[in-house]
Structure 1
Amino acid sequence: MAEERTGREYRMEELAEAAGITVRTLRFYRERKLIPPPRREGRIAWYDEHHLARLHTISALLERGHTLSGIADLATAFESGRDVGQLLGLAATEPPAWTEEEPVRLTPEQLADYFEGEVTAENLAAALDLGYLATDGDNIIHISRRLLDVSAALVRQGVPLASVLASGREVRRHTEALTELFSGLVRTHLGDEEFTSAMERVRPLAKDVVEAELSMSLDRRVRAEKSGPEGE
């Protein structure tokens, strides 16, 4: 039985026209491996909607100042990343029932707009490795809208994205330790209850403790800076 295919397919000339580029440019992109190989049927090469989406992404990133070499590096990092199912441990883009975080679907060009000039292959690879980003077909999923917005705000304040990601890794290390602490409290003192339901009740209390302690720690740091050599 022949393999059933869904979605439109294009010959090279049709794909180039749909993408608004020349056949020569399309051949060049294919030679540079900026797009995946086409499906072959005899001597005919067939392209699909994923190829068209990739070409639109290349055009959009070029308009945003990325070079072809940089786009090739981004594509390599993008294709080596974990998909959403791996990241969430279940079906793509379906968040676990217990999470409070909202995943965000982005095109590569939308991600470039969030972090103008900071979306490099190195930063993309770091975000994928950290688990902030995952791939879903031709799109990118950021695991948390809150983290996305905070990261973008820090970059707008002048903090390089590489430093934001490095700090995120450190924050991850400390928060994992805090999670172990509160998990230990639950297991020690609420051991007769089902762990998940007990953690759900303790969760908002744990968050309040951490937020209050962080707020007071920031207050102490500001007071210490103000009472430095000039304030003494």
Structure 2
Amino acid sequence: MNASAAPAVAAPEISIEMLATRTGVTVRNIRAYTSAGLLPPPRLQGRLGLYTDDHAQRLSLIRALRDQGFGIEAIRRIFGRAPASAWPDLVAVARSVSGSLFAEETPMIVSAEALAAKWNGQMTPALLARATKAGLMRELPDGQVQMLSPALGEVAEQLAALGLPLEDAIGMQETMARTLRTVARHWLRTLADGLLSGDTGQAERAAQLLEKARPLATGAVQAAFPVILQQELDALLRKAA
């Protein structure tokens, strides 16, 4: 026997109450997720259920996906179809889409070479022209590129890391830009029709109100998008089943 070989140390096991404290998920929800098949059952020691780090990690992912608006059925199918190594990436993409995507940002200027290097040379002049036409980027006279939403660029990079071609990622962003532009126009026209009159003073007041309405519109889209995303994902997974 090799005296230098250290014996394997079993991972510590904890009670459901300790697991709840560690993860911030209530005991009731832990049991509900176990019943729903999202969480493996604990190892039983008599009547005591014992949980491991694997349970804690999976619970953290469940909580993150739930925070981004994913339903129980959608999470179950994600766990069943995606390898465990991809779960953190899925959470990161969901968080970027529903969070920083709608935040007010400072545009970032990058060189065309640096932009191309981000996607292993996938950024062609044609794709850059499409992104520019969609209003997501702007080509500057000195040849550099102004990214109007760095968060969108991060989302595209995370999608590329999951294996989605850059052309498909830009196509998704084009569709999103067209849809959000339609929403913005409808909001502004509705507000303007409701507030504007021929009175000059009223017009100035309306302009101020429209400016104050911008964060309300942003918040409305941010609140609605995860709900709609979950509904569409559930529908897609039902069709694929």
TM-score (norm 2): 0.48
Specify which structure has the higher proportion of helix.
2
